Chains A and B, each alone.
Chain A
């Protein structure tokens, strides 16, 4: 599934994506318009990738704060950013 967020990746976006996602295991999110990705969005993506679904996520243009928050939550070494973030 491909999503282009019109703003920040927050709880509202998490709920909307979750509703649409169904059984799909591949998720592409364009974050070009986001100033931040919040902790609920990080948790959602973490569970999607490392939970039962074992899904794959690709992020386009994540904001600087995404990397900062990932480090704050101690997930930066667990997430394979080379695969997740589009070059």
Chain B
């Protein structure tokens, strides 16, 4: 589970903070040596902040502990005096000869982590991000040679299937199923690592169902990945073994997942369907999902086993949404410039209450701009979540953009809450910064609706983006027009 520490910037808190870091990392599945490395890197950052950022002044330091299926990220934020940890380069010769150890802390941090980022957000503070990836065995190294993917082409005789909730003990079977069905081509790499699956199920980051044959062999798996900041989940992992296909297993699993999601109180499910082909979009449509956004450059190139069409360089996705509550309401404020398309998106959800939300928009705005940043290192994109527009929206965004300039990004996404009239000015300004429309992200953060805009740095070929539903086609046309209107450098 994610954790957040608010610490007074004083020397005695160092030990408690690093003790917690070590224990949290071990609990989330890092090997003990790697957990100690993260604790040491955290200690070095905190020590530097105390010595150079706050010196003898009082202040606070916030630490966010974040988990994904492939890595641990620790984000340390503070607002002390400006200092640049990257200014000094460590030189061992100077250390030995002159006892000059400048840069030793940074050298230590870099060595102990897989990735270290220093984000200078000016008046909004400084941020240090430490990342460590999980090291665990790939399923291929755990399988005997005779379990080759090609062995599954012959259909097995029809039999009774048993659906049960997936537990952490099913992790190895799930990884086997993925490997034997897709070889190396499944888009979510984490599913090839049993330990990662085990940890994610154990900590309830995902839940799902597994189908077994009468003899106990795994035939299918389907899971929901829970959002970390809203009561919704992504139907993100699905597989049916090739020799058990066309027997309605996907439908049975999806119905089971909807039941499980309702039991857990989720308010909606979403799917990010690849636009490389329309198969996933068709499946989502069949189960009542409705298209709400088109997200460009979502992940790097993927190859799909059994698909004959050519590969695209960057995969874009259609966001499909299935509400699980009838109480979900259209928000009070829809931005003028996208009012028509957003109204059309909302109109698809005929089973939901079509009246607008009664929340008072004026009450929701504060003076302080508050932006959250999520970096997806694997897919080379970032998501900025606007928690409050505040009075310094533009300058805070600019500082944030500058701080992430050095990352080699394919896309920047920004989610704008639909609860404040200031969204109109925000959109106008973001368009000047070459952001374009993406669509509606329903109940996406803290059970509130957001509108997503996107800035795409990767070359996008719209001819390779396939859409299935009418609304996805309309979204594509608007986005294509805006994309083409941006002067190419």
Contact = CB atoms under 8 A, between A and B. Distances in A.
Nearest to A13: B15
A83 B206 CA distance: 52
A25 B308 CA distance: 75
A17 interface: no
Interface residues of B, number: 30
Interface string A25-69: 000000000011011101100110011000000000001110011
B152 interface: no
A73 B99 CA distance: 12
Interface residues of A, number: 27
B33 A43 contact: no
The B interface, classified by DSSP as helix, strand, loop or mixed, is helix
Contacts of B207: none
Given A47-B99, A73-B90, A12 B11 contact: yes
A21 interface: no
A36 B90 CA distance: 20
A72 B113 CA distance: 13
The A interface, classified by DSSP as helix, strand, loop or mixed, is helix
Interface stretch (B36-44, B140-148, B169-177): B36-44
Given A10-B15, A36-B36, A72 B111 contact: yes
Contact of B14 (A11, A35, A43): A11
B294 interface: no
A3 interface: no
Interface stretch (B101-109, B272-280, B446-454): B101-109
Contact of A63 (B36, B43, B104, B111): B36
Nearest to B105: A39
A11 B36 CA distance: 16
A64 B34 CA distance: 11
B14 to A, nearest CB: 5
B18 interface: yes
Given A38-B108, A73-B90, A46 B11 contact: no
B95 A75 contact: yes
A46 B36 contact: no
A74 B99 contact: no
Interface of B: 11-12, 14-15, 18-19, 22, 33, 35-37, 39-40, 43-44, 47, 50-51, 90, 92-93, 95-96, 99, 101, 104-105, 107-108, 111
Interface of A: 7-8, 10-12, 15, 35-36, 38-40, 42-43, 46-47, 50-51, 63-65, 68-69, 72-75, 78
